[in-house]
Amino acid sequence: MDHVTVAGIDCGTNSIRLKIARVGHDGIEDIVPRTLRVVRLGEGVDRTREFAADALERTYAATREFAGILASHPVDALRFVATSATRDARNRSDFEDTVESILGVRPEVISGTEEADLSFLAATSMTRRADLEPPFIVIDLGGGSTELVLGGDGESASATKVQAAYSMDIGSVRMTERHFHHDPPTQGEIDAAVEDIDAHVTEAFRTVPAGQARTIIGVSGTVTTMTALAMGLDRYDHSAVDGVRMDFARAFDVDDRFLHMTRAERRTYPTIHPGRIDVVGGGALVWNRVLARIGDAALADHGQRIDSYVASEHGLLDGLVLDLGRRLLAHI
């Protein structure tokens, strides 16, 4: 057999996503492209360390919808992974039991390191640009956590091989719930969030030598949404955003502008998914600070500041499907 059909479900803090694809020795082909539902599973988890009943019901409804899609598209294997919010929730066994009753597979609560590895796999193997200079650092900015993953230099170590990774407990939902209590946030709230973010980045840099990077690749809904806004798109366009290179100055200006907007003002931009309206400012602030800190680290490490990043549509979900398909093929 030269290909397998597999499905992956990525259940994060803010959204749950399904992808069904045919994976072969020569690549991957979508059967059901990414289907996304914003369920805010992690609502309140940073404070209570438990899933809220309403958040669970929203997630179960999306899971039942995905079960219907899967019934129409038989697969050789399905893997359901859960990330930051589920790692933090004390009542996660109830969630796992119910999902298993709906889908027949039990959610795997993966570590931040595995999440980082899968995001790096997708971003480096599926982002189509000829000018990506290694070493690559991939930033996966989620609702509850943000992963930094550094690859090799392409000489002493393969550019697509993970050299170091770290998962930080900062993300769009977590920062918004923890710090932003006014609409728009006050300067004091923003300053407190920056201090929180910077402390996590400093800790991450003890594990990930970010200054070695020459190319930054950003994945996740926050990154691609803010990139689309910086591009001036009236509607979100996956194909236009994927692989685009964006300079820091333009990105920082747009990120800061949307951080200081009210939610009502953000709703006037169709480019932003309705489920991100209230948290995209927090995500933009995380994105700003992580980019700036990596740029500074690169300047200190090799005397050359990085001043742009590449946006990728290919993150954890794509890496999950690609990895699952490859592992099945290896055993056929």
Which whole-number Å values give the CA distances from 101 to 63, 307, 317, 321, in the listed order?
10, 48, 22, 22
DSSP 284-314: HHHHHHHHHHHHHHHHHHHS----EEEE-S-
pLDDT in tens, the chain (332 residues): 789 999 999 999 999 999 999 999 888 999 998 999 999 999 998 899 999 999 999 999 999 999 999 999 999 999 999 987 788 899 999 999 999 999 999 999 998 889 989 999 999 888 777 778 999 999 999 999 999 999 988 888 888 889 999 999 999 999 999 999 999 999 999 999 999 999 999 999 999 999 999 999 999 999 999 999 999 999 999 999 999 999 999 999 999 999 999 999 999 999 999 999 999 999 999 999 999 999 999 999 888 889 999 999 999 999 999 999 999 999 87
250 bridge partner residues: none
Of the candidates 81, 233, 54, the one whose C-alpha atom is nearest the C-alpha of residue 142 is 81
Domains and CATH numbers, the chain: 3-112 (3.30.420.40), 128-313 (3.30.420.150)
Distance between CA atoms of 296 and 304, rounded to whole angstroms?
A: 9
Distance between CA atoms of 106 and 330, rounded to whole angstroms?
A: 23
What are the tens digits of pLDDT across the range 283-314? 999 999 999 999 999 999 888 889 999 999 99
Of the candidates 221, 151, 193, 188, the one whose C-alpha atom is nearest the C-alpha of residue 290 is 193
- 133, amino acid identity: E
Asked whether the beta carbons of 212 and 301 are under 8 A apart, the reply is yes
Distance of CA 260 to the CA centre of its chain: 23
Q: Is 153 exposed, middle or buried (0-12, 13-18, 19+ CB in 10 A)?
A: middle
Q: 3-state class of 194 per DSSP?
A: helix
- 212, amino acid identity: Q
Regarding pTM above 0.85, the answer is yes
Dihedral in degrees, nearest 10, Cα atoms 317, 320, 325, 331 = -170
- Phi then psi for residue 227, to 5 deg, are -65, -45
Asked whether the beta carbons of 279 and 263 are under 8 A apart, the reply is no
* Confidence at residue 126, expressed as pLDDT on a 0 to 100 scale: 84
327: CB partners within 8 A, 6+ apart: none
Which whole-number Å values give the CA distances from 141 to 25, 131, 167, 234, 304, in the listed order?
30, 23, 10, 23, 24
Asked whether the beta carbons of 295 and 213 are under 8 A apart, the reply is no
Of the candidates 12, 36, 9, the one whose C-alpha atom is nearest the C-alpha of residue 105 is 9
